[in-house]
Amino acid sequence: MLNGKNILLAITGSIAAYKSAFIIRELIKRGANVKVVMTEASCEFITPLTLSTLSKNPVLKDFVKDSASGVWNNHVDLGMWADLMLIAPATANTLAKLVTGHADTFLLATYLSARCPVFVAPAMDLDMFKHSSTQDNLTALAARKVSIIEPEFGELASGLHGEGRLAEPENIAQYLHDYFLDLATLKGKKIIISAGPTYEKIDPVRFIGNHSSGKMGFALAKIAAQRGADVVLVSGPVALETPTGVQRKDVTSAAEMLAQVDQEYSSADVVIMAAAVADYTVLSPATQKIKKKGANLDLKLKKTTDILHYLGLNKQKQILVGFALETENEIGNAEKKLKDKNLDAIVLNSLNSKGAGFGTDTNQVSIIQKDNKITSFELKHKNDVANDVLDVVENLL
């Protein structure tokens, strides 16, 4: 379950910091991608060079990378990169600062920027761990949905025996594995997701297309795979990396997208059509580049096959979800599309919403279901929107 996951390991100033090398090894053995952030104090116990060598990524601990050139380390991007943030070892001092929202280190600022689940593995002496201040801080973090990996019983640096010892690296890795396993709520389900634009050929050089970046469809594929689904991603021409665990099929035209989706349709449990498919294609594309001849170029277009309508007509057991990008009468147009194309749900987004639409990392949507139930969401990162859409899909299933 850790294969392909992006895990951000944050290391604080505990003697147990030396175990972070073994944590990295365990995570990488299980297929995870690991990046490391450190506090200055943690460098007293293990070197950044050791951890960068093991993780195969530079270790970050400062806001400023090069003051002379003004290059800085972007804690926001790092927080968005991670599928999970693990703070191990977490000292009593760090726990207190996590609760109060301090951002006086690169590690703490990254924590405040993280959109992903956060796990904390405390490590300290017995009396420090049992102190009411520490316990209150752990309770506060748990109330904010930070997961606590409880320390283990054993010999402590002070010479005492008791609770406070950092959980063993293999136990931490297993804890994270089990967390993702619990999220595999779509295990055994086959989901087809379309993404991106289609390009309709005019001649060997030119095409009719649109501004779709494919980011929403790829976010859906990523989150569906993380939930354990067998994902087939049918993508138009985009410059995006295939999410881990996803089977990708590249197409160019609307006709090619229909053919690929139809090929997989009978065995699918869910189809989510997030692609911006062209409504028209060129009637007779030129075989050679069209040369400039006059003031105008007239193209004859014909309608493409409406993929959503086709899938709705031929639906058997599948859950079918469409997308609607509207600029006017948004709810009315989306509800009509939901009914006319026999969809189970439709995701409505608007070009009138700032931060939504083509090419952005965020989106603002409303999800309309067959019973006319409308759920509207605030502006979110597309990964979070994907979670909202897939929550609806799971309820429909």
pLDDT tens for 82-109 read: 999 999 999 999 999 999 999 999 999 9
Half-sphere exposure of 43 (CA within 13 A, CB side): 12
Helix runs in 36-166, H state only: 48-55, 75-81, 92-100, 106-113, 126-130, 132-143
pTM over 0.75: no
pLDDT cut 90: percent of the chain above it: 78
Task: Say if residue 76's pLDDT is above 90.
Answer: no
Two tokens at 332? 């009315």
pLDDT(277) > 70: yes
User: In this predicted model, which residue has the larger pLDDT, 154 or 194?
Assistant: 194
pLDDT band for position 177 (50/70/90)? Answer: very high
- Please report the beta strands in 157-218, taking only residues with DSSP state E, as ranges in sequence order: 161-165, 190-195, 200-201, 207-208
Backbone angles phi and psi of 195, in degrees to 5: -150, 155
Mean pLDDT score of the chain: 92
Q: What average pLDDT does the segment 365-374 reach?
A: 91
190-396 shares the fold of 6-182: yes
Q: Which CATH number fits domain 190-396: 3.90.470.20, 3.40.50.2000, 3.40.50.300, 3.40.50.10300?
A: 3.40.50.10300
Q: What is the pLDDT of residue 394?
A: 95
Q: What's the average model confidence in pLDDT over 350-370?
A: 85
210 is an active site residue: yes
Residue 290 is classified by DSSP as: P
Q: What is the mean pLDDT of residues 381-391?
A: 94
Using DSSP's 3-state secondary structure scheme, residue 136 falls into: helix
Domain ranges of the chain: 6-182, 190-396
pLDDT at site 3: 84
- pLDDT-based confidence at 367, cuts 50/70/90? very high
Active-site residue (options: 57, 93, 171, 210): 210
Q: What is the pLDDT of residue 369?
A: 95
Determine the average pLDDT of the residues in 298-311.
95
Contact by Cβ (8 Å): 89, 12: yes
Q: Helices 20-29 and 169-182, interaxial angle, to 10°? A: 40
Question: Interhelix angle for 20-29 vs 48-55, to 10°?
Answer: 10
Cross-strand partners of 348: 324, 366
* Closest alpha carbon to 334 in 321, 324, 322: 324
Closest C-alpha among 88, 28, 26, 24 to residue 51: 24
Is residue 163 over pLDDT 90?
Answer: no
Q: How far apart are CA 324 and CA 387, in angstroms?
A: 18
Rg over CA atoms, the chain:
25
Q: Is residue 6 a contact partner of residue 35, using CB atoms and an 8 Å limit?
A: yes
pLDDT average, residue stretch 126-141: 95
Answer yes or no: is pLDDT of 292 > 70.
Answer: yes
Beta-sheet pairing, 301-303 with 280-282: antiparallel
Q: Which residues, listed in sequence order, are joined to residue 152 by a DSSP beta bridge? A: 165
Per the DSSP assignment, residues forming a β-bridge with 368 are 346, 374
pLDDT at 67 over 70: no
Predicted pLDDT at 158: 75
Vertex 99 angle, CA 13 and 382, to 5°: 100
Token pair, residue 159, equals 């010479």
Distance, CA of 206 to CA of 367 (rounded, Å): 36
- CA dist 332 and 377 (Å) reads 18
> What CATH number was assigned to the domain covering residues 6-182?
3.40.50.1950
pLDDT given at position 335:
94
Distance of alpha carbon 93 from its chain centroid, rounded?
A: 31
Which has more confidence, 374 or 293? 374
Per residue in 21-32, pLDDT (tens digit) is 999 999 999 989
Instruction: Determine the pLDDT at residue 156.
Output: 78
Q: What is the pLDDT of residue 66?
A: 65
**Per-residue pLDDT at 266:** 95
Instruction: State the average pLDDT over residues 21-49.
Output: 95
Residue in 78, 391, 359, 366 with CA at minimum distance from that of residue 224: 391
